[in-house]
Amino acid sequence: MKKLVLIFASILLGITCINAQTYKTREATIAFNPNKDQAHKDYAAESKEATAVLKVETADVALLVPMKTFHFNNALLEEHFNENYLHTDKIPNATYKGKLIGFTKEMLAKDGVYKISSEGQVTLHGVTKTFKAPVKLEVKGKTAIFYCDFGVKAEDYSIDIPGIVKPKLADETPIQTVIKFQLN
């Protein structure tokens, strides 16, 4: 009898696990413009192939960005980005693991714009640092879009910018992420 109850409980547990709602997208967009003069977009790049996953019950988020998917207008710039700055052959991905603060699953059910934030850990160029930034959530019908703008300092992540290029770049590179989930 005891064994039966134990088995029954484990199955119940299993069912609740399956019920945990998780949303995933493989087309999250990350864009950045490292120019000191933000009006000039010569060095700007963007990736439209980042993978993001959100677990609604626990407000956990994870993001995986394949660095080679960042494309620049100038092919030589892209080559330098991969070969000299980010060493993408050795460190192919950047990741984020964190929680959404102030997020409730009811937000996904009602159309609107919500101001929340996210806290977690970013791993870029093999270096992990704590992360905290405001997030804007826009829910409209069957889609939920998370917008997060934040700044990254190259030296924080051991990214070596040569002296000849440094004066042209901003001290803190602004990055914009747009993650769109399809709600079912």
Partner 1 sequence: MKKLFLYTFLVMGVYAAQAQDDLLGGLVKEDAAVVKQNITSATFKSTRLINMQSVEMTGAGNLQFMISHHFGQIWQKNAGLQNVAQMFGLNAGVANTYLAVDYSPNKWLNLGAASTGNSQFEGWAKFRIIRQQTGKKNIPVTVDWFSSFHADATAGPSISDNAWNRFSYLNQLLVARKFNDNFSLQVMGSLIHNNINTYGVNNTNNTVSVGIGGRYKLTRKSAFTLEYSRQLNNYKNLIDETGTVYSYKPDLLSLGYDWDTGGHIFQFFISNTSMASNFTQLTTNNNKLTAFALGFNLNRSFGIKKVVKVAQ
The residue ranges that bind partner 1 (CB under 8 A) are 2, 5-6, 9-10, 13, 17, 22, 31, 33, 38, 41-42, 44-46, 51, 53, 55, 58, 60-64, 66, 71-80, 82-84, 89, 93, 95-97, 99, 162, 164-165
What CA–CA distances, in Å, run from 13 to 16, 19, 118? 5, 10, 29
Least Å distance between CB 159 and partner 1? 13
Least Å distance between CB 16 and partner 1? 9
Least Å distance between CB 140 and partner 1? 19
> Smaller CB distance to partner 1: residue 9 or 127?
9
Least Å distance between CB 51 and partner 1? 5
> Smaller CB distance to partner 1: residue 13 or 109?
13
- Give the contacts of 29 (CB within 8 A, at least 6 positions apart): 46, 47, 48, 50, 176, 177, 178, 179
Q: Return d(Cα 87, Cα 94) in angstroms, integer.
A: 12
Q: Return d(Cα 79, Cα 83) in angstroms, integer.
A: 6
Least Å distance between CB 141 and partner 1? 23
First to last CA, the chain: 40
> Smaller CB distance to partner 1: residue 133 or 175?
175
> Smaller CB distance to partner 1: residue 78 or 138?
78
> Smaller CB distance to partner 1: residue 12 or 113?
12
Q: Return d(Cα 55, Cα 17) in angstroms, integer.
A: 11
- By CB atoms closer than 10 A (0-12, 13-18, 19+), residue 184 is exposed
Least Å distance between CB 112 and partner 1? 23
With H, G, I as helix, E, B as strand and everything else as coil, classify residue 109: helix
Q: Return d(Cα 43, Cα 169) in angstroms, integer.
A: 9
> Smaller CB distance to partner 1: residue 46 or 138?
46
